[in-house]
Structure 1
């Protein structure tokens, strides 16, 4: 079985978030998909299986578990289908645990249509835990499957020191830490994402987190089209646009490795 490793939400190699992409000829047992993902030891491994013309099942595995939604591995999967497997259609559909997702090839990269993640109030217990993690937070809330802390500025996000044990104990998929971007940058907001409970201490670029960051910052900034920058060591840029109950995530990707699983 062939695989490709694609750096997603980056226009250059060794930036953005790497994902392994495998195209299955036949169904593979879940235990094998999990073992292969652990062997890759990337934040996500994507498994595709063709269901029809331009239509694929898509599943995502971290090194330790299957997840319901992943943005960068979906971007990587679409890129690999177009760039490596030679699919000619400009629109692709993916059947996933989060419903049908769409990918479109556009002039400056790829656009994904993902479900908007609702923003809601935290419980009192969650609020106490989040404020313990980040003293002086501007705001805390629940952001879809995740919890979110807004800090004072971009520097505070960059300098945030995560307590992975405490974050793993939160009743959420992971923790988003965010702030408005500095005025001189080309982004509207910045973020970092931590998911130690899913085997990912810090994710380089998290497309699915932007499904919540988009409505959060849209409400604060009064914009429906924005750019987010994730301040991980690798870094990456995600375009977001809100259309109804969908968030359009846009970015670029580049293939860096190819191989075969024996």
Structure 2
């Protein structure tokens, strides 16, 4: 009589991104007491002040600007939208991630569960995208009420905020791996503040001389502003797709570097 063969089941195959959805749900649950519109209000308060003070207030004194075919407030609003989305995404993958790692020991605890390291990285970036989307929705609602963007283009701009949040969320989670103490965030602000001021938030890139234009066009916030400004104003030219490609590559590289760096920190 033939001898029966006993098959021993091996460990289940778990996707590399396992647990990303659970980390995302955990972050949503932790912040559920604030509510989406409360989070949006916190994120857009400062940009709205800039819009009122500069876009509306100073805009009355500026008049027509060469290369700008719309009112000054309508030109500035998408730049402030991009800034609000960037700040929301970076907050979740930088300051918040730093606290989770340094003080809460959160990530080491999570890795003792079936959640994989890739799941942690993907889940945190997904949460930053959701936060950016909430901030973008709140800001878009305000500028639409102000009449600075029409509803069809507002919906297209809302889709653009997802890509902007993804790009900065991935980059922020990667950069956080080099942050050792709170004072290191001053270096981050040293980069973000000049980028906010010079990346065409308040005026077109054509005001700069040629070599400076090239430098400005390399800034990630410049491409975020170009994407959302093109969407908000309905200017869907070839430059839009350059910004889409730039931000997509930035987000993917951020994920790859973040996965590599967090593996060195958490698994050794």
Bin the TM-score by the shorter chain. under 0.3
- Larger RCO: Structure 1 or Structure 2 (Cα < 8 Å, ≥ 6 residues apart)? 2
TM-score (norm 1): 0.26
TM-score (norm 2): 0.26
Higher strand fraction: Structure 1 or Structure 2?
1
Greater Cα radius of gyration, structure 1 or 2: 2
